[in-house]
Amino acid sequence: MKKLIVIIVALYTTFSINLNITMAKSKPDTPSINSEAAIVLEANTGKVIYEKNAETRMYPASLTKIATAIYAIENGDLNETVTVSERAYETGGSSVFLEEGDQATLKELVQGLLLNSGNDAGVAIAEHLSGSVERFSEDLNAYLEEKAGVERTDFQNPHGLFDSEHRTTAKDLAKITQYAQGNQTFNEIYGLEVLDWNGEKWDATLYTHHRLMREDPYEGVTGGKTGYVPQSGFTLATSASRENMDLIVITMKSRTKNLSYEDTKKLLDYGFDHYQTSTLKPGKELLADVNEEYELPDEVSYTHLKEEAVKTEIDDSGQFSITYPDGTAIYSTQLAKVEEKATERQVNEQKTEKPSWQDYWPLFIFPRHFWVTEIYEQIK
């Protein structure tokens, strides 16, 4: 049987089927950036729409704290009290000015970690959860590999202060951020612009260090994290949402802070201006004119160039794919046959059969006025 093809022209968020092929726009020019590595990821679909040296292992600086934060949120009790150690107190760099013996909740430490980039908070979190920074690093790496699917990440500490072996990639950082943003508590803290800090020795108002969230607001920005050590240059993580697009931008090793923000805005503009995420609803209606044997089992979302003609194709085995006219892949999945779905529904119905008379025998040991009522109610 020949492959069956239908042309779909993506004009809006949802699809409109059009049997006339629309001429595709030429692919937009990708932005030129100064950062040595970068990536733009659409969080809903996992589509990478821009990358530059995205799999090169580099020093992440404080972008490490995104990983530490989500690990703490998912593996600790945020209401627990943490006692600050001497090692945490003596940690250099940016801090929330914890002193040895201070106590704070784990949630407060995560807030200080992300909002004020507290290295001291990072050490306090690591020691509380794993007993030591070294053991925490092992736990964190295993967690990130399992949960976020990182492939080239090896963290040696919870904060990102320089260690020659503490490396990751822009792609892995985007994956970590994508995974973390699936957690509501993380998003609430990651998106904070200001926080009243009530420490044991001092009170203050903390402000996010990320410019696009305060001094230079970018439309749709939802969160971000800054980073810098001399060996890493300026690193920046930024998340922004518009309509049905959720973008994550990572830039690494910018020479100056200004260049890291310029690059980030260019990449966000590129993503929002030229791409969109469309959705196909589950069921067989969309595919009825193509092949009635198959149906979409779940809602399918995918990211593609705006106003670019795309086509869907189902091969003999039920493999469903979405591509550009030149064959470039956008999305692919295996479809279930309609009759297979019907059989599955029948099996599920059989598993929920009505109870037989044997199911009621224990009720006979109770008084008549009780079991007559019970049986009557269940048989109705």
Catalytic residues: 62, 65, 117
Q: How many CA atoms lie within 13 A of 226 on its CB side?
A: 20
Burial 67-100 (b: 16+ CB within 10 A, else e): bbbbbbbeebeeeeebebbeebbebebbbbbbee
3-class DSSP assignment, residue 266: helix
Q: How many residues does the chain have?
A: 380
11: its two tokens = 């004009």
| Residue 352 to residue 343: CA distance in whole angstroms | 15
| Residue 276 to residue 26: CA distance in whole angstroms | 16
| Residue 9 to residue 16: CA distance in whole angstroms | 6
| Residue 229 to residue 187: CA distance in whole angstroms | 25
Residue linked to tokens 């009557």: 376
Q: Which residues contact 147 (CB under 8 A, 6 or more apart)?
A: 74, 179
Let me know: does 198 contact 182? Beta carbons within 8 Å. Answer: no
CA angle centred on 290, ends 285 and 295, rounded to 5°: 45
Helix and strand element counts for the chain (H, E): 10, 18
| Residue 125 to residue 83: CA distance in whole angstroms | 10
Residue 220's CB is within 10 A of a number of other CB atoms, namely 16
